[in-house]
């Protein structure tokens, strides 16, 4: 592809107008929106509003007058529209890690007598860690079984309470067939808990269309919700009355301000809320979600996949380094919106790109990862990034000591 052809794609891009909603720094091509999305300009404004007007002027009264108390359900209801759920099926709560523990325990409560929590070896670490923590706490009442992806469908059996999978793999971007796995689990009487961290705001997700049970997700990647933004929880309406949350806090009580000694869970999605909602984080997040809701989800996915295809093709056409290997599925239909290239010097590669203002990230042991957020990236930026990666590889310019020095966060 020529640069002119990339520019022509931008000229025809129905999502191009969203770039103006962001203020990205000059000289940066940001291919890490899959790790931390950049701030929508509106997020700065919403934060200032929440901080100066609502907190500063309204003070405690803003719990009522600025809708703070409803914010987890309000923002959750908006996220619901992005993942094929009903508004009353999603709430903001806690972190993804805490929500994984909460919903995996909840799944066990919905499938009494079953002990197995089934997941994928090599799943995002926090998913495995949260499940390990739960299994260790429950002793002989639960066991975590993590198997290779290829073995997973066959490993679902009559003892499986819940299958816990990340829809799009954090390293490879491999995409599970959500409908097929959900159906396979249901055929054995098991539930599925989907981690949508890399899916929400990127690829089409239709939870109710696949008869999904449970899901969690973070909001700081493609939703551009801010660093450490609060996470969300989905519980299908049919499970809400029966599911037992182990993390019972005052905001999940049927009547929080009755101040009763005994916990009576809210019978709806509120029962998944634990503590006091993080209002400042919610304010920034809501700006990101509102922006996402203005985009056509089919266009979002199509553009992200097209950017990834362009990147793969241009890198592979140029890079002569035989150590470079595509570590993502080649079939776009089996992939999310980021691309992983394996290289023995993956870390240094990412640093060398960073020095040119092209931001990706590294995932141990050898993955250089590049994300293609559709709302703010242009085709020509991705074209330039691909050419830069080719040049870095062909000139060996990554081979410098300062590019090998590991930072705390990779």
Binding to a copy of itself (CB under 8 A) within 273-332 occurs at 274-282, 284
Which of 169, 198, 253, 369 touches a copy of itself (CB under 8 A)? 253
Q: Which residues, numbered 355-394, are part of the site for a copy of itself (CB under 8 A)? A: 359, 361, 363-364
Stretch in the footprint of a copy of itself (CB under 8 A) among 120-128, 148-156, 179-187, 233-241: 120-128
Question: Which residues is 276 bridged to in the sheet?
Answer: none
Q: Which two tokens stand for residue 301?
A: 């996915």
Which of 84, 226, 374, 390: binder of a copy of itself (CB under 8 A)? 226
Is 124 among the residues known to form the active site? Answer: yes
Interface with a copy of itself, residue 344, by CB under 8 A: no
Q: Which is nearer to a copy of itself, 130 or 308 (CB)?
A: 130
Q: Is 145 in the site for a copy of itself (CB under 8 A)?
A: no
Which residue in 18, 22, 30, 124 is the catalytic one? 124
**Catalytic residue status for 195:** yes
Helix axes 279-293, 41-48, angle to 10 degrees: 140
Half-sphere exposure of 26 (CA within 13 A, CB side): 0
Catalytic residue among 220, 222, 376, 403: 220
Q: For every residue of 187-245, which 3-state class applies, written as one string? A: HCCCEEEEECCCCCCCCCCCCHHHCCCEEEECCCCCCCCCCCCCCEEEECHHHHCCCCC
As a whole number of angstroms, the distance between CA 78 and CA 289 comes to 7
List the one residue from 6, 105, 161, 235 that touches a copy of itself (CB under 8 A): 105
Active site includes 369?
A: yes
Contacts (CB under 8 A) with a copy of itself, residues 5-34: 23, 25, 28, 30, 32
Q: Mark residues 148-187: x for contact with a copy of itself by CB under 8 A, - for none.
A: -----------------------x----------------
- Per the omega criterion (within 30 degrees of 0), is the bond before 365 cis? yes
Pairing of strands 232-235, 214-217: antiparallel
Give every strand in the sheet of 90-92, ordered side by side. Answer: 90-92, 232-235, 214-217, 191-195, 160-166, 116-120, 143-147
Q: Does residue 134 bind a copy of itself (CB under 8 A)?
A: yes
- Contacting a copy of itself (CB under 8 A), which of 44, 188, 238, 404? 44
For 118, phi then psi, to 5°, come to -105, 130
How far apart, in whole angstroms, are the C-alpha atoms of residue 281 and residue 226? 7
Active site residues: 124, 195, 220-221, 369
């Amino acid at each position: 592809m020529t640069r002119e052809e990339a520019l022509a794609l931008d000229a025809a891009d129905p999502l191009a107008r969203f770039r103006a909603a962001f203020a990205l720094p000059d000289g940066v091509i940001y291919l890490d929106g899959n790790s931390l999305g950049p701030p929508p300009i509106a997020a700065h404004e919403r934060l200032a509003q929440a901080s100066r007007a609502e907190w500063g002027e309204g003070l405690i009264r803003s719990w009522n007058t600025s809708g703070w108390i409803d914010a987890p359900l309000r923002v959750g209801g908006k996220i619901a529209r992005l993942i094929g759920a009903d508004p009353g099926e999603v709430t903001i709560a806690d972190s993804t890690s805490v929500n994984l523990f909460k919903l995996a325990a909840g799944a066990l409560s919905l499938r009494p007598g079953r002990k197995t929590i089934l997941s994928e070896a090599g799943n995002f670490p926090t998913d495995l860690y949260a499940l390990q923590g739960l299994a260790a706490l429950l002793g002989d009442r639960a066991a975590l079984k993590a198997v290779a992806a290829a073995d997973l469908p066959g490993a679902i059996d009559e003892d499986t309470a819940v299958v816990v999978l990340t829809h799009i793999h954090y390293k490879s971007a491999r995409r599970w067939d959500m409908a097929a796995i959900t159906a396979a689990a249901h055929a054995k009487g098991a539930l599925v808990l989907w981690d949508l961290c890399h899916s929400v705001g990127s690829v089409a997700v239709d939870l109710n269309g696949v008869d999904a049970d449970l899901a969690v997700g973070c909001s700081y990647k493609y939703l551009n919700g801010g660093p450490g933004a609060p996470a969300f929880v989905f519980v299908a309406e049919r499970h809400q009355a029966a599911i037992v949350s182990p993390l019972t806090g005052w905001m999940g009580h049927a009547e929080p301000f009755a101040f009763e000694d005994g916990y009576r869970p809210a019978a709806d999605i509120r029962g998944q809320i634990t503590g006091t909602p993080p209002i400042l984080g919610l304010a920034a997040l809501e700006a990101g979600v509102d922006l996402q809701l203005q985009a056509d989800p089919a266009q979002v996915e199509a553009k992200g996949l097209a950017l990834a295809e362009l990147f793969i093709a241009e890198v592979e056409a140029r890079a002569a380094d035989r150590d470079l290997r595509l570590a993502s599925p080649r079939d776009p239909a089996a992939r999310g919106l980021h691309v992983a290239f394996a290289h023995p010097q993956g870390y240094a590669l990412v640093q060398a790109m960073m020095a040119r203002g092209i931001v990706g990230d590294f995932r141990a042991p050898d993955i250089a990862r590049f994300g293609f957020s559709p709302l703010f990236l242009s085709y020509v930026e991705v074209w330039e990034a691909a050419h830069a990666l080719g040049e870095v590889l062909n000139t060996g310019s990554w081979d410098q000591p300062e590019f090998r020095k590991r930072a705390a966060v990779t």
